[in-house]
């Protein structure tokens, strides 16, 4: 496939959904309805585990593979039909191992890459049933360099460090209401320290374990300025990101070049 032409401005739709517990078909249908509310965007960002909700240590849904599962085919069809990229995480089983996998599909339906959640949420039992990822993933699309991260990864700044020159960092999440203030503060911190756009898309509602989620999906600019903030209701909203503004800020204050050099351990 020919490389996509560079774009100075990207428009993203944040899809803040009230997910149905362990019902992939119902969630895919609902997400289609929500994406209809923001036509004409470049990228739809769905929450973490968007087909099931955060199962953690539960075995509440059928396993699906990357190659033959219905969710990837659904993402491809939705992307082609909307002429927009789609990304989000769902549960994938590969070589007998279960992963919380963040998948990015471009507007032609091609899967450009995926990221397996590195930091598994121990208090929720995720580490008991899932295998952590061991590789960071950088998607190059429309001339933008996009870093993929999932929920709990947000708490670990070394893993999220911008030593790979990314422009945009995406976090998809099922982040519970009692720690909403942490969600807000950490997303802003990642934007400031990485001099990058940072988007966090969270779910709303109450899951099958009676855990509440307050949404509060957010978009921050590289100075830490709030570009978009959603409330605690199911909603969809779009935000525009300007790469020229990002490059101007980095040129004026090149903080990233003064960072320490070290190697991550996996």
Residue 137 CA to residue 123 CA, distance in Å, equals 25
**HSE on the CB side for 136, CA within 13 Å?**
20
Give the active site residue among 87, 126, 151, 160: 151
Residue 205, phi-psi category: left (phi > 0), alpha (psi -120 to 50), beta (remainder): left
Indicate if 117 belongs to the active site.
yes
Give the active site residue among 25, 32, 36, 48: 48
Give the active site residue among 117, 126, 160, 216: 117
Tell me which residue of 9, 11, 7 sits closest to 237, measured CA to CA.
Answer: 11
Indicate if 151 belongs to the active site.
yes
Task: Count each helix (H run) and each strand (E run) in the chain, helices first.
Answer: 5, 14
Residue 39 CA to residue 261 CA, distance in Å, equals 43
Residue 89 CA to residue 68 CA, distance in Å, equals 16
The residues with which 178 forms a beta bridge, in sequence order, are: none
Indicate if 160 belongs to the active site.
no
Residue 81 CA to residue 23 CA, distance in Å, equals 23
Residue 35 CA to residue 54 CA, distance in Å, equals 21
Q: Which residues are catalytic?
A: 48, 117, 151
């Amino acid at each position: 496939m020919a490389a996509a032409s560079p774009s100075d401005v990207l428009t993203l739709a944040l899809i803040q959904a009230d997910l149905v517990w362990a019902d992939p078909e119902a969630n895919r249908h609902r997400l289609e309805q929500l994406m209809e509310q923001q036509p004409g965007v470049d990228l739809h960002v769905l929450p973490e585990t968007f087909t099931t909700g955060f199962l953690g240590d539960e075995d509440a849904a059928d396993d699906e593979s990357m190659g033959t599962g219905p969710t990837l085919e659904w993402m491809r069809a939705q992307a082609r039909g909307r002429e927009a990229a789609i990304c989000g995480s769902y549960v994938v089983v590969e070589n007998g191992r279960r992963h919380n996998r963040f998948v990015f599909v471009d507007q032609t339906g091609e899967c450009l890459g995926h990221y397996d959640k590195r930091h598994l949420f121990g208090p929720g039992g995720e580490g008991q049933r899932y295998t952590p990822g061991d590789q960071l993933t950088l998607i190059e699309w429309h001339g933008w360099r996009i870093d993929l991260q999932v929920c709990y990864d947000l708490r670990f700044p070394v893993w999220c460090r911008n030593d790979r020159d990314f422009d945009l960092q995406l976090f998809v999440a099922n982040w519970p209401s009692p720690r909403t203030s942490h969600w807000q503060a950490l997303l802003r911190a990642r934007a400031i320290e990485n001099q990058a756009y940072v988007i966090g898309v969270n779910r709303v509602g109450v899951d099958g374990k009676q855990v509440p989620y307050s949404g509060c999906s957010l978009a921050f600019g590289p100075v830490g300025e709030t570009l978009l903030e959603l409330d605690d209701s199911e909603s969809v909203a779009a935000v525009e990101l300007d790469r020229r503004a990002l490059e101007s800020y980095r040129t004026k204050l090149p903080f990233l070049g003064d960072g320490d050099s070290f190697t991550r351990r996996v």
